[in-house]
Amino acid sequence: MITINFSNEISSDLEKAMSDDLSEYEKSFGIDVNHEKFSLTVNVEEQTIGVLNAFTAYAEIYIEDLWVDKRHRGKGYGKQLIESLIKKFEGSGFNNINLCTSRFQAPGFYEKCGFKLEFIRENHQNPELSKLFFVRFFNNKNQWQGKCSTNAAYGSHLSLSPESLSNKNTESTTYTIQATSKPNPDDVQWLCDGIMGNAQYIKGHNPVEFFGFFLRDDQGSLHGGLNGDILYGGMYISQLFIEDSLRSQGYGSQLMQKAEALAKEKNCNFVSVNTMDFEALEFYKKHGFYIEFSRNGYDKNSVFYFLRKNLVNIDETQPTGLGLPFEYQKSPEYFNAINTNLNTNRINSLIADVLRKYEVKTVLDLTCGTGSQVFHLMKLGFECTGADFSPDLLKQARIRAKLSGQDISFIDGDMRTLKQGKFDAVITIFNAIGHLTIPDFSKAVRNISDNLKYGGIYVFDILNLAAMNDEKIPDLAYQIHKNFDQSQILASQCSSLEKESGRLMSYNSVMIQKNGDKPTRFVNDFILQLYTAKALEEILIANGFEILNQFDLSGEEFIESKSESMLTIARKVTK
């Protein structure tokens, strides 16, 4: 009989067995796992007052923890630990250094140390628990780490010449940073206790919990397992392995189900896992995980995927699971100034032409924002109702309606849930659906059907994933400078695309100067979910629609391989 058991820890022998087996598997692809743990410490006399705990894997270095005793913070020891790490490994064949920190911890510190923010895993219910992923690349032209064919692979013997760190406040105290490939368990535990103590002091968080599930036969022999940790409301699956003879028999799925059940028992908001492209990407997708982002640059064109599965419907309590531009909620008074351009009236006119063609009289704009389409269509004689999830944007729309003397209904509501009646047409314009996850877009389509008369039409646009390539993505970047209400606004945006998941990562920077005062700078990232025409058709058909037509947003014929955007007109065909 084979059983799956829960455990809070694993033995060193078991950990070694799993590690050796995984290493052998990776070597079959010509990849060297190159896994070595090490620590750097700062010592005052004989007392350790700071530790950097890290490990190497493939061609990367991962900083697990960085801690300086609170009595010695602000004196530069943390920065010198980072600098010593960089100095030690520069020119050693590694590609980059990675680390992850929570928003309430030290993201600003790592930016000052030259790390680049690569990705944010948002926690919308507890924003301070959002995870920030940082990277710093080496300038190594010759990268040999992570290859099995090299004799220059990183070994277990680290030697870092101790550096004396002069304490500016205590002339008699000398600090040294020491490196080791075999960290003392007590030092590692001390580091962990320091980090957890700091988190508990600042936010009241519980310490990390480790767990494991193991697959054994009647004699107790090990045949597979899964282990990981629970931290700040999220579960991370560190390792999953099943021996060859038992694969494709469902044991991996059983292990995942056990882990997910534990995550729910512990009230985790999500489960995350990482995998290489040659490992278990499709397996995790089948279990409901989606790609948050990927990291390229590994040897032999390998790709490292970061996956996530939400256990609570975050999107039910938040406007979007993918993030939003800052002006949507933080500075709605600047929404029009940033988002209105020469194309706005042209696109609004195109929407009006479409509605006229299908003899539409009543329109529900479920993502009206400050009312751009609503005001335009009302002027042309359509009966319009506006709705949006953002009370702040709706406030701007109502102010505009009052100033213009128009009686327009603007309603607080979410396109996924708002029931407002039966209309001839529903519209969601300017890539509005892209701010939803794919499951939530399907939910929104079902709700849109509920707001349409039989035969009513749904009109929306989205960037065309099929046309996005390395030449097209840079064209999405922009920089604008506008004068608005005695304020100077400078906004810019650049993007990158995760082609497989269809997620466009946008990086925004907005600087606002009011009345000549010191400018305020806002920086944020958000994701836009893109679609192909086929993907849209599948979702629409599954939810009772048929596609009547698709255009390029310029109004020209839609060409799947060339059109940057697609405007879709779909008709409700179910009662």
Nearest to 452, CA basis, from 312, 571, 553, 279 = 571
Q: Average of pLDDT values for 353-376?
A: 96
**CATH, residue 74:** 3.40.630.30
Q: What is the pLDDT of residue 320?
A: 57
User: Considering the domain boundaries, does residue 283 fall inside one?
Assistant: yes
pLDDT band at 468 (very low <50, low <70, confident <90, very high): very high
**Single-letter amino acid, residue 19:** S
Query: What sign results for the dihedral spanned by CA atoms 550, 551, 552, 556?
Result: positive
173 and 234, same domain (yes or no): no
89 and 52, same domain (yes or no): yes
User: Considering the domain boundaries, does residue 444 fall inside one?
Assistant: yes
User: Considering the domain boundaries, does residue 545 fall inside one?
Assistant: yes
User: Considering the domain boundaries, does residue 524 fall inside one?
Assistant: no
Cβ atoms 497, 468 nearer than 8 A: yes
User: Considering the domain boundaries, does residue 287 fall inside one?
Assistant: yes
- Distance CA(44)–CA(50), nearest Å, equals 9
346 and 424, same domain (yes or no): yes
227 and 94, same domain (yes or no): no
Q: What is the pLDDT of residue 424?
A: 97
Beta partners for 230? 209, 235
User: Considering the domain boundaries, does residue 374 fall inside one?
Assistant: yes
Q: What is the pLDDT of residue 163?
A: 39
219 and 270, same domain (yes or no): yes
Residues in the chain: 575
**CATH, residue 344:** 3.40.50.150
Cβ atoms 240, 215 nearer than 8 A: no
Angle, CA of 27, 64 and 270, to the nearest 5°: 90
55 and 168, same domain (yes or no): yes
Task: Of 127-131, 273-277, 367-371, give the lowest mean pLDDT range.
Answer: 127-131
194 and 220, same domain (yes or no): no
pLDDT band at 295 (very low <50, low <70, confident <90, very high): confident
337 and 226, same domain (yes or no): no
**Residue reference for tokens 């960089």:** 86
Domain that holds residue 257: 209-312
Q: What is the pLDDT of residue 313?
A: 54
Task: For residue range 392-447, list pLDDT tens digits in order.
Answer: 899 999 999 999 999 999 999 899 999 999 999 999 999 999 999 898 899 999 99
**Single-letter amino acid, residue 79:** K
Q: How many domains does the chain have?
A: 3
Q: What is the pLDDT of residue 528?
A: 93
Q: What is the pLDDT of residue 101?
A: 92
3-state SS track over 216-268: ECCCCCEEEEEEEEEECCEEEEEEEEECHHHCCCCHHHHHHHHHHHHHHHCCC
Q: What is the pLDDT of residue 330?
A: 64
Task: For residue range 131-172, list pLDDT tens digits in order.
Answer: 999 999 887 666 678 776 543 333 333 333 333 333 344 445
List of residues 6+ apart from 51 with CB closer than 8 A: 39, 40, 41, 42, 65, 66, 67, 81, 187, 188, 190, 191, 194
Task: For residue range 38-58, list pLDDT tens digits in order.
Answer: 999 988 877 889 999 999 998
Beta partners for 270? 234, 310
Other residues' Cβ atoms within 10 Å of the Cβ of residue 473: 15
Q: What is the pLDDT of residue 168?
A: 40
- What mean pLDDT is reported for the chain? 86
Q: What is the pLDDT of residue 459?
A: 98
Task: For residue range 327-354, list pLDDT tens digits in order.
Answer: 676 667 777 777 777 688 899 999 999 9
**Residue reference for tokens 């920190």:** 101
187 and 266, same domain (yes or no): no
* Token output for 337: 């100034």
Task: For residue range 512-566, list pLDDT tens digits in order.
Answer: 898 888 888 877 788 899 999 999 999 999 999 999 999 999 889 999 999 999 9
Q: What is the pLDDT of residue 454?
A: 96
Task: For residue range 181-226, list pLDDT tens digits in order.
Answer: 888 888 888 888 788 777 776 777 778 889 999 999 999 999 999 9
Task: For residue range 52-104, list pLDDT tens digits in order.
Answer: 999 999 889 999 999 999 888 888 889 999 999 998 888 888 889 999 999 88
260 and 170, same domain (yes or no): no
Q: What is the pLDDT of residue 385?
A: 96
**Given a cut of 80, is residue 270 above it in pLDDT?**
yes
**Given a cut of 70, is residue 326 above it in pLDDT?**
no
- Distance CA(347)–CA(427), nearest Å, equals 13
User: Considering the domain boundaries, does residue 15 fall inside one?
Assistant: no
301 and 429, same domain (yes or no): no
Q: Average of pLDDT values for 357-385?
A: 96
Q: What is the pLDDT of residue 41?
A: 92
**Given a cut of 60, is residue 317 above it in pLDDT?**
no
List of residues 6+ apart from 299 with CB closer than 8 A: 30, 31, 58, 59, 143, 146, 147
For 531-559, give one letter per residue: b (16+ CB within 10 A) or e: bbbebbbebbeebbbeeeebbbbeeeebe
Q: Average of pLDDT values for 13-34?
A: 83
**Residue reference for tokens 């749904």:** 458
User: Considering the domain boundaries, does residue 274 fall inside one?
Assistant: yes
Domain boundary among 262, 288, 312: 312
Q: What is the pLDDT of residue 201?
A: 66
Q: What is the pLDDT of residue 153?
A: 37
264 and 378, same domain (yes or no): no
